[in-house]
Amino acid sequence: MSRARRDAFRVLLELEAGTALLESSLARNLEKAAPRERAFATSLIFMVLRNRLFLDHLLARFLDRPPAKLDPPVLAVLRLGAAEAALMSTPAHAVVSAAVELAKATPARRGQKLVNAVLRRLVGGWPEVPLPGPEAAPLERLPLVYSHPAWLVAELLAQHSPEVVEAWLQANQAQPPLTLRLNPARATREGLAADLRQHAETLEPHPLVPEGLLLRGLKLPAAQLPGFESGLFSIQDAAAQAVSHLLGVEPGMAVADLCAGAGGKTGHLAALLRGQGRLWAVDPSPARVRALRQNLGRLGVQWVSVKQADALSLTGLDGALDRVLVDAPCSGLGVCGRRPDVRWRRVPEDPARLAKLQLDLAAKGAELLRPGGALVYATCTFTRAENQEVVAGLLARCPGLRLEWPQGLATELRACIGPDGYFSTMPQRDQADAFFAARLVKE
């Protein structure tokens, strides 16, 4: 049994049980693996996560019960075997023998006979398993072909044409590029590109944001690229970079990032302020605040006021700020191309559940603004409950706000503002995660 398959099995089992997030599970389970084993295990994990619904559809044809009725360890082994058989280049005989060996060595051992029988039939029979054709209704075909939950696809179809939705889902199935944000205090985009070009198959400026570099075919982990530890750049998606530009900060302003997390946008706002003004970064999590301080230190940003606090209980800044960013906790469905586990962790009730907190945070941000100040409400999701409906609720609660974008907003960013007046990105169009943003000015 290969170590890579065993590691992949453990990660998938943890994700299915909800006991870990993808990044932490990968780090823990693959930490000691050799580079080749780590690469194969990671490929297996992402192949299963990106194609889970399709794999279960194949398995169902050769089972006497729905896949969801199987013990989770047995189902994890079967999904890995089905992925190797249908989506990878593993020979048929090796698929079966590797899966049986994996079952024997894990909690799936009681199901090894089932694994053997099902995969023997699947390796030769999966191409004959029917899928909905082009004539099928989009909501019947798209979830299965592109392995996204039906409720998620329905949300997209309510906002976009079937053609746009299909292109969106197809983009989510591909390996996304890596986007870096240069630190202008320590590097130029041209100089950084020259330093990094040998470490990627392709490297080019990102068309959406002036600090962005787009890398494909990375030859080593991103955090091991030269210049990362010395703060020449951060790893940040272009849509996340765009959010900081939307705020319209200028040197000398008083600014707050109310949901700072690990500080990706905080570091960007600090760069845009060029060290002139005041910047508060607020987050309630001790672990995230530690990561925030570490990231700001790596970038050489020592002047930010970091507060470990619930933004809703923040005092002393009411009516004092020129700009407020509320990058609200959300369902994260806009990153499910990069993080395919998200599409399976979320349930249809999550957007409405999260919307109350999002509205409260946005309203708190509005309280902190001085007259003429601006707030950006942003999420990395596309659900109406968390986006347009939250903004509508905020405008009703705080009637002194109006939707307004900065006068000098770059053409590339202004092109992402739709007829409804809101900013949004799409993976198939913008080579970025799906973000939403609204900028509201206080009268």
Active-site residue set = 380
From the list 392, 373, 153, 161, the residue with the least C-alpha distance to 249 is 373
Q: Which residues of 109-144 are buried (b: 16+ CB within 10 A; e: fewer)?
A: eebbebbbebbbebbeebeeeeeeeeeeebeebbbb
CA–CA dist 18, 50 (Å, integer)? 17
Question: Which residue, 79, 74, 102, is CA-closest to 3?
Answer: 102
3-state helix, strand, coil split of the chain in percent (to 5) is 50, 15, 35
Assigned token pair, 63? 């089972």
Structure tokens at 112: 């090894």
Give 387's DSSP letter: T
**Sole residue written with tokens 């700001």:** 296
Asked if 404 contacts 246 with a C-beta cutoff of 8 angstroms, the reply is no
Torsion over CA: 8, 10, 14, 20 (sign):
negative
Distance separating alpha carbons of residues 306 and 202, to the nearest angstrom: 37
Write out the DSSP string of 296-338: HHHTT----EEEES-GGG--S-TT-EEEEEEE-----GGGTTT
The SS3 assignment for 53 reads: helix
52-61 and 35-50 helices, crossing angle to 10°? 70
Residue 252, phi then psi, degrees to nearest 5: 95, -10
Q: Quick one: CA dihedral 244, 332, 56, 33, positive or negative?
A: positive
Which region, left, alpha or beta, applies to residue 231 given φ > 0 means left and ψ of -120 to 50 means alpha? left
Cβ atoms of 383 and 331 within 8 Å: the answer is: yes
